[in-house]
């Protein structure tokens, strides 16, 4: 995939899937805007990638910060063609009777409202220029309940519906909206899940998780015409046929 001349903004770019996606998009020739709350981490990653990367500290739970991040991306790179809504959180993991309502709401602010903020801000740029690609990291948790994850399951189900809504309202305007459900990935989030000891996912062995590099490669693939059959829907890396199409081992 040659993305030379394209600009991609990635939320949650400080580590895990987001950081690997930044490296993969840069390797494909794209300019990248690294968005995360951890200014130091994204600055280090931007230094690693080089002049094609810019670090933009941002809390996606606040719309005005996302709007400023998009403007900073335009100032640095002159365009915005692809957005990867990757930022997400799962802590604190707790059953509903034990969950702290404020902490529960913070997960919704990031995982659901943050996705909407990224979509809304991107549309202000993409619609006038005739289109763009907006990808969102989904989850199997969008489709079924997982003990201790009421906030995560609800937010991921909502984020998938936002992808469907984006496609419903803007496909004819040139917006490509797709969700990616990667399965379990070897990232810090899985360490948090493991430590909780709640539900079968926490019992998985580390070797059961796929590497974040696979997810990054899938995201780059989803920017091409071969993924158009998934517009308004979801690409699942649990599907061996999808892995083969993406070129994953």
pLDDT tens string 24-42: 999 999 999 999 999 999 9
Q: Bridge-partner residues for 135, per DSSP?
A: 84, 178
Q: Answer yes or no: is 2 within a domain.
A: no
Instruction: State the pLDDT at residue 205.
Output: 62
In a 13 Å sphere around the CA of 204, the CA atoms on its Cβ side amount to 17
The answer to the question of residue 220 being in a domain is yes
Residue of 152, 170, 214, 230 with catalytic role: 152
- Domain at 178, CATH number: 3.40.50.720
pLDDT at 206 over 60: no
Share of the chain above pLDDT 90, in %: 75
What is the rounded distance in angstroms from the CA atom of residue 217 to the CA atom of residue 21? 7
Residue 203 maps to a domain: yes
Distances (CA, A) of 55 to 49, 77, 215: 11, 12, 21
Question: Which residue range(s) make up the domain with 106?
Answer: 7-246
In a domain, 232, yes or no: yes
In a domain, residue 177? The reply is yes
| Strand pairing class (82-85; 53-57) | unpaired
- Compute the distance between CA of residue 116 and CA of residue 41 in angstroms, rounded to an integer: 24
Please give the Cα distance from 83 to 240 (Å, whole number).
26
Both tokens assigned to 224: 């091409």
Cα 247 from Cα 221, distance rounded (Å) = 9
In a domain, 238, yes or no: yes
pLDDT range class, residue 58, cuts 50, 70, 90: very high
124-to-84, 166, 194 alpha-carbon distances in Å: 16, 13, 40
Angle in degrees, CA 129, 133, 138, rounded to 5: 150
| pTM of the complete model | 0.92
To which residue do tokens 């091409």 refer?
A: 224
Q: What is the number of domains present in the chain?
A: 1
d(CA 140, CA 157): 9
Q: Known catalytic residue: 63?
A: no
3-state secondary structure of 66: helix
pLDDT tens-digit series, residues 83-117? 999 999 888 989 999 999 999 999 999 999 999 99
């Amino acid at each position: 995939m040659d993305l030379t001349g394209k600009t991609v903004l990635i939320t949650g770019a400080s580590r895990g899937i987001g950081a690997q996606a930044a490296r993969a998009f840069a390797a494909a020739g794209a300019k990248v805007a690294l968005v995360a709350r951890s200014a130091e981490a994204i600055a280090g990653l931007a230094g690693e990638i080089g002049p094609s990367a810019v670090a933009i500290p941002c809390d996606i739970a606040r719309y005005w910060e996302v709007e400023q991040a998009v403007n900073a991306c335009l100032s640095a790179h002159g365009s915005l063609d692809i957005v990867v809504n990757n930022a997400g959180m799962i802590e604190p993991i707790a059953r509903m009777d034990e969950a702290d309502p404020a902490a529960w709401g913070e997960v919704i602010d990031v995982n659901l409202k943050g996705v909407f903020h990224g979509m809304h801000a991107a549309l202000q740029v993409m619609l006038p220029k005739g289109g763009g690609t907006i990808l969102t990291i989904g989850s199997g948790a969008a489709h079924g309940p997982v003990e201790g994850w009421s906030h995560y399951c609800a937010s991921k189900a909502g984020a998938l519906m936002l992808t469907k809504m984006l496609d419903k309202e803007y496909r004819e305007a040139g917006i490509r909206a797709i969700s990616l459900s990667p399965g379990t990935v070897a990232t810090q989030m899985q360490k948090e899940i493991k430590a909780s000891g709640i539900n079968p996912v926490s019992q998985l062995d580390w070797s059961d998780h796929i590497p974040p590099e696979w997810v990054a490669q899938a995201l780059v693939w989803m920017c091409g015409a071969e993924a158009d059959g998934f517009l308004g829907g979801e690409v699942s890396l649990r599907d061996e046929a999808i892995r083969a199409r993406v070129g994953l081992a």
